[in-house]
């Protein structure tokens, strides 16, 4: 059965985007990019909430040819070939071959998805889908990359989730700047 990993970038003060929705602060330098690409290569599917899906679907299909950043050129083909799942209560369909789940019984839909997916289910960024899955106890591992920035407000990581005890299973610095914190459910 696949492992469910929540992969997210956050500021030191615990936000995934700034007060005006800005997400221009995570730096994908060489070491962090290599780790990110390794993680995404292992994924059996990428999982997004509606808002993150809309951003990803508008950027990544053409990013390999329109971006000069080495990480973007390397990730774009991975994004295109990896199955995608959107967790949403409002969408009924999505382009780029993405599957939409999130109807009446998210837990049952999620169990079916896990059973049929080879590789990890990588829940990326955002808070909506991750919060819904975490609240149901469906996330196995949290991989939080803390970047050296204070945003002073914005969107919090996993808002309104009840207490969950976690166990630290690893840390890793990247590029002398960011730090990965890996936690599993206790």
DSSP character string of 57-98: HHHHHHHHHH---HHHHHHHHHHHHS-EEEE-SS-S--STT-
- DSSP-derived 3-state class of residue 177: coil
Q: Interhelix angle for 50-66 vs 70-81, to 10°?
A: 120
User: Given a cut of 90, is residue 13 above it in pLDDT?
Assistant: yes
Q: Which residues are within 8 A (CB) of 113 and not within 5 positions of it... i.e. 6 or more apart?
A: 45, 85, 99, 101, 121
Instruction: For 62-105, write each residue's pLDDT tens digit.
Output: 887 788 889 999 999 999 999 999 999 999 999 999 999 998 89
Q: 98-153 pLDDT, tens per residue?
A: 999 998 899 999 999 999 999 999 999 889 999 999 999 999 999 999 999 999 99
The matching CATH number, chosen from 3.30.70.980, 2.40.30.10, 3.40.430.10, 3.40.50.11290, for 4-185 is: 3.40.430.10
Per-residue confidence (pLDDT) for residue 106, from 0 to 100:
94
Return the SS3 of 140: coil
Indicate the burial class of 173 (C-beta count within 10 angstroms; 0-12, 13-18, 19 or more). exposed
Question: What is the mean pLDDT of the segment spanning 8-14?
Answer: 97
% pLDDT > 70, the chain? 99
Lateral strand order in the sheet of 178-185? 99-101, 84-87, 43-49, 120-124, 4-11, 141-147, 178-185, 166-174
Give me the residue spans of the domains in the chain.
Answer: 4-185
Confidence of residue 158 (pLDDT cuts 50, 70, 90): very high
């Amino acid at each position: 059965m696949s492992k469910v990993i929540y992969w997210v970038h956050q500021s030191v003060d615990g936000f995934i985007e700034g007060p005006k929705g800005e997400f221009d602060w995570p730096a994908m330098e060489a070491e962090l990019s290599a780790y990110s690409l390794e993680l995404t290569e292992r994924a059996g599917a990428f999982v997004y909430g509606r808002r993150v899906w809309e951003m990803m679907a508008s950027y990544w299909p053409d990013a390999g040819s329109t971006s000069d950043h080495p990480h973007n050129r390397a990730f774009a083909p991975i994004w295109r070939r990896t199955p995608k799942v959107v967790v949403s209560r409002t969408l009924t369909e999505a382009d780029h071959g993405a599957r939409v789940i999130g109807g009446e019984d998210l837990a049952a839909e999620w169990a079916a998805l896990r059973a049929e997916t080879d590789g990890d289910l990588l829940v990326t960024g955002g808070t909506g889908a991750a919060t819904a899955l975490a609240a149901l106890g469906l996330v196995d591992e949290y991989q939080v990359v803390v970047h050296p920035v204070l945003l002073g407000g914005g969107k919090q990581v996993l808002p309104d989730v009840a207490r969950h005890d976690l166990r630290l299973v690893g840390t890793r610095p990247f590029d002398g700047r960011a730090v990965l914190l890996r936690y599993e459910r206790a």
